[in-house]
Amino acid sequence: MSSSNIRSTRSRGFGADEEDPRTRGILPNTSCRHFRQRLRSARKVNVFQGLVIATGGVALLGVLMLMSMDVAAGNSNPSAIDRMKGMWESAVNFLGLPELLNRAVEQRGRGGRSLDDAATQHYCNQPLDTKTLFRLIGQQVLNQQQAMARMERTVSRQRQFQSLVLLGPPGVGKTLTVSALSHYFPWPGNIHSFSGAPCVPGEERDCAALRQVLAELSDCGTNLLLIDQLEPCDHHIVASYNKFLRDGLQRQSLLVLYVIDLEVELYGRQFELMQRELPADTTIVSFRLFGREELRDCLEHELQQESRVLGQDEQTRILGEALAKSCCAGCKDLREIVLKQGRAANAAEDAAAIN
């Protein structure tokens, strides 16, 4: 063999009459083949582990279902419930769910797609079902159908920034409305609330409390800011708060509700003032005063909710006293009266049976 042939053979690493093993995709007697063999073994081990975990998970879920059936049937005791909780925690740790969740969170922080991305996107991007929302609120707030309809029309627009002012005398359902809205709001972690003005007069344009709200706004869903128990003289803060909040928004969406109590004796005059002074980008929602029939509805509702009974004469007297009060014009004080003066429904039925 000539020297040139020897150099050619050495440079290729195999004999001239041998088949080039690189055409088969793997070099013989090299670390590449050993690596592929280890890869096949690792795959077999992973498949086996997956089958073991799946089988154990199914068996454990079956045991938990049987124990839960016993709990529902009332045949279990606290020790059985504790055992079931312990088995569930062991199952979660055995299946490696905490590690999976941690990896998903880390992956999301790195910009990757996690296992629950689809559910998260649905939760964040779901439209606000205002029809259902205000139907549920209307079941608690009585005799304010027009106010509920106006709020629903405004909120259903779902703009990036929306501002509403709820006006009315005390006790007609304004605070109950914002409380029910908070209860049924689909993004409970996005709710911020203040009782009274969050900033002292003169600091509206640079309010530390509102800066904190802006810093905590979420990109997921709609944010809700509730400012309750404002006086008529606080109406001037609405325009400055709106500007401060709107300018601080980036991609977030924000719904702001202001609640202003008007005095019964000055209701008409104060309402006209609000219409003139409140900014044009703010929707005014008027909660009307209650008359005798509306108060009767409230009284009957409270009696039903508390399972109490009042005689007809007692109801007439209570309604007369409520109408005579100048401090309020709604249902706010009726629940306390029902609790103090109403008799339990079963006791009233027993007394009627004896008579």
Q: What is the 3-state secondary structure (H, E, C) of 68-129?
A: HHHHHHCCCCHHHHHHHHHHHHHHHHHCCHHHHHHHHHHHHHCCCCCCCHHHHHHHHHCCCC
For residue 30, what are the contacts with CB-CB under 8 A and spacing of at least 6? none
Q: Which two tokens stand for residue 2?
A: 């000539």
For position 348, what pLDDT does the model report? 47
Q: Is residue 339 part of a domain?
A: yes
Give which of 316, 295, 309 is closest to 338, Cα–Cα. Answer: 309
Do 332 and 270 share a structural domain? Answer: no
Residue 308 is encoded by which pair of tokens?
């109490």
Domain count, the chain: 3
Residues 136 and 277 grouped into a single domain? yes
pLDDT of amino acid 330: 65
Highest mean pLDDT among 34-43, 198-207, 258-267, 323-332: 258-267
Least trusted range by pLDDT, from 104-113, 237-246, 324-333: 104-113
Band of pLDDT at residue 83, cut at 50, 70 and 90: low
Give the DSSP letter of residue 139.
T
**Does residue 231 surpass a pLDDT of 90?**
yes
Of 131-140, 193-202, 260-269, 324-333, the range with the lowest mean pLDDT is 324-333
Chosen domain end from 61, 91, 115 = 115
Residue range(s) defining the domain that contains residue 42:
31-115
Closest CA to 128 of 219, 220, 257, 222: 222
Among the residues of 110-236, which ranges form H helices? 117-125, 130-138, 145-155, 174-184, 208-216
Q: How many CA atoms lie within 13 A of 333 on its CB side?
A: 13
Residue 195: inside a domain: yes
How confident is residue 314, by pLDDT bands cut at 50, 70 and 90?
confident
Domain boundary among 261, 286, 311: 286
User: What pLDDT is attached to residue 102?
Assistant: 46
Residue 190: CB atoms within 10 Å: 21
Q: How confident is the model at residue 265 (pLDDT cuts 50, 70, 90)?
A: confident
Edge-first strand order for the sheet with 253-261 is: 191-195, 222-230, 253-261, 161-168, 282-286
Looking at the structure, do residues 176 and 270 belong to the same domain, yes or no? Answer: yes
Please determine, for residue 263, whether its predicted confidence score (pLDDT) is greater than 80.
Answer: yes
| pTM, rounded to two decimals | 0.61
Same domain, 241 and 141: yes
Question: What integer pLDDT is reported at residue 187 of this predicted model?
Answer: 95
Task: Please indicate, yes or no, whether residues 271 and 307 belong to a single structural domain of this protein.
Answer: no
Same domain, 202 and 278: yes
Res 55 pLDDT > 60: yes
For residue 234, pLDDT over 50 is answered with yes
Question: What is the secondary structure of 323-344 as a DSSP string?
Answer: HH-SS--SSTTHHHHHHHHPEE
Do residues 252 and 166 both lie within one domain? yes
Residue 254: count other Cβ atoms within 10 Å of its Cβ: 23
pLDDT score at 40: 60
Q: Is the pLDDT of residue 162 over 70?
A: yes
Choosing from 245, 267, 286, the residue where a domain stops is: 286
Task: Identify whether residues 154 and 50 lie together within a single domain.
Answer: no
Say if residue 164 is in the same domain as residue 210: yes
CB–CB of 132/279 below 8 Å?
no
